[in-house]
Amino acid sequence: MFTAFLTSSSWAEKTYIGDKFCRICHSDQAEYFLSGVHADTTISSGLDKGQMGCETCHGPGSEHVEQPLSNNIITFQTESPLILSSRCLSCHATDHPVINFRRSDHHVKKVSCSSCHSIGGSKSFHQMRSVQDVMDRNQTDLCYGCHLQVRTDFALPFHHPISEGFMQCSSCHEQHGGFTLRQLRTRHNEAVCTKCHEHQHGPFIFEHPPGAADSCQTCHNPHGSTNTKMLNRPVLRFLCLECHSKTPSFHDLTQTLFQNCTVCHSRVHGSNLSRFLFD
């Protein structure tokens, strides 16, 4: 936590000196900052007047003014991911959705805020007015940079339109953390899917157990597949037989008639008429 960082012997001796000293050497950044949203926020934050402005993020500057070195001020260049994120979270820890960032997979794996949001003294950061001003790249490219297997899935012939720009990874995942597996935006996978696929959403009188008790991913690969329905197997019957290995005796799987299960069991997600999921 950043609190522990500040209470170390060297940082505890530093004091806040105000922006007027920062402007002597960093006049450009100071001008950018005054036109950005962070200047408005620090003024209304309730901080002591001496802590507003540059030192809100970069820490107390008394030692840096006496000896302007990069190791006696927070530069957002060489610090650890923990320190970088803790600086941002000192203000943003109660903001939705960043409120859950400390329990996120990104934080646990030492991905800091600056991994996605360009900081590092950039003009765009100091004069930012919205989060889009400081995105290092578009969201899809950011996610692909680390999640290479997912990128491969989206390159398969049938996939959700992420690369085409009609969806984003955050359409299904909460990138800043949450309480769900894979940081999904809701507690159940099927609820995420049925935000768009409403016609597959029950309740049905006769449920297909994967949809009712497990998840859509039992049958579908949500990122991409070689199957037109984004199934986990290239041939439908092989997917069905993973669960329904004991088929009735009159189902002769050597015959074409019985090789496409959904010809008869067409209501594969659930039915209100037949427990066999007939139409």
**What gap in Å lies between CA 187 and CA 182, rounded to an integer?**
10
Same domain, 185 and 248: yes
- The contacts found for 71-80 with CB under 8 angstroms, 24 or more apart, are 72/10, 72/14, 75/120, 75/121, 76/114, 76/119, 76/120, 76/121, 77/120, 77/121, 80/110
Token duo for residue 165: 């720009």
Phi, then psi, of 230 in degrees rounded to 5: 55, 40
Same domain, 187 and 263: yes
The number of distinct structural domains making up the chain is 2
Same domain, 126 and 12: yes
Same domain, 130 and 163: no
**Is residue 141 one of the residues assigned to a domain?**
no
Phi, then psi, of 270 in degrees rounded to 5: 150, 155
Show which of 102, 136, 170 is a domain's final residue.
136
pTM, two decimals, is 0.77
Distances (CA, A) of 148 to 13, 152, 155, 185, 258: 45, 6, 11, 21, 38
Same domain, 74 and 107: yes
**Is residue 66 one of the residues assigned to a domain?**
yes
Same domain, 70 and 166: no
Same domain, 131 and 237: no
Count the residues in the chain. 279
**Is residue 201 one of the residues assigned to a domain?**
yes
Taking only the tens place, the pLDDT of each residue in 137-176 is 888 998 999 999 999 999 999 999 998 889 999 999 999 9
Same domain, 118 and 215: no
Tell me if residue 173 falls in helix, strand or coil. strand
Same domain, 203 and 81: no
Among residues 156, 123, 129, 273, the alpha carbon closest in space to that of 224 is found at 156
Tell me if residue 43 falls in helix, strand or coil. helix
How high is the pLDDT of residue 3? Answer: 43
Taking only the tens place, the pLDDT of each residue in 93-138 is 888 778 889 889 999 999 988 888 876 556 888 888 888 777 878 8
Same domain, 18 and 115: yes
How high is the pLDDT of residue 4? Answer: 40
**Is residue 4 one of the residues assigned to a domain?**
yes
**Is residue 237 one of the residues assigned to a domain?**
yes
**Is residue 145 one of the residues assigned to a domain?**
no
How high is the pLDDT of residue 149? Answer: 92
What's the chain's average pLDDT? 83
Region 242-256: what's the mean pLDDT?
86
Taking only the tens place, the pLDDT of each residue in 55-81 is 888 889 999 999 999 888 998 888 888
Tell me if residue 238 falls in helix, strand or coil. helix
Same domain, 11 and 87: yes
Read off the amino acid at residue 277.
L
Show which of 101, 136, 171 is a domain's final residue.
136
Tell me if residue 89 falls in helix, strand or coil. helix
How high is the pLDDT of residue 169? Answer: 93
Show which of 111, 136, 161 is a domain's final residue.
136
**Is residue 142 one of the residues assigned to a domain?**
no
How high is the pLDDT of residue 186? Answer: 78
**Is residue 248 one of the residues assigned to a domain?**
yes
Whether the CA torsion 240, 246, 248, 254 is positive or negative: it is positive
Same domain, 124 and 172: no
Domain that holds residue 108: 1-136
Q: Residue 87: is it exposed, middle or buried by C-beta count within 10 angstroms (0-12/13-18/19+)?
A: buried
